[in-house]
Amino acid sequence: MIFGSWAFVVAEEFVDPKILWDEEELYIQALGYSDEIAYESIVEVSTIEELGRRTKTNGTGTADYARGSFNVQSYGKSRVYVFHQTPLIIVIHLEDLTVFYNEPTEEATLAILEELNRRVED
């Protein structure tokens, strides 16, 4: 059991979360976690510079990234896919959940934000 947990953490270091786009929804995939979000269910899209105080309910939190289910101060129940070194985080507000996402670079995060805004506005 210890080996399995250790192997998961090591594998997670090399597998970045990714977004897949569909006509009606987006899919966020990460090792051990995934979310399917219909564009019509998105209440608001915003950005923040820092994740802030949070409590992990199920996931991984290291000095480099946070992934999984967290309770984020001022947001409540949240799903987090965040690289801490990237100073831009996309916040996807849903009715009963907030999703935080960014890429390893600010430029890649901005590209995701632009695509997300385009799809939500359509």
pLDDT tens digits, one per residue of 12-62: 455 789 999 999 999 999 988 899 999 999 999 999 999 989 999 998 888
H-type alpha helices, the chain:
2-12, 106-121
Please tell me the pTM assigned to this model: 0.88
The pair of three-digit structure tokens given for residue 94, joined into one six-digit string: 């849903």
**Which of 24, 47, 43, 35 has the alpha carbon at shortest distance from 95?**
43
Residue 15 has what pLDDT? 74
Q: Which of 121, 122, 103, 119 is closest to 47 using CA atoms? A: 103
Q: Edge-to-edge strands of the sheet including 33-38?
A: 18-21, 25-30, 33-38
Q: What pLDDT is recorded for position 12?
A: 46
Domain residue limits, the chain: 2-121
Report the percent of the chain where pLDDT is more than 70. 89
User: pLDDT tens, 53-104?
Assistant: 999 999 888 899 999 999 999 999 999 999 999 999 999 999 999 999 999 9
pLDDT at 21 (0 to 100):
97
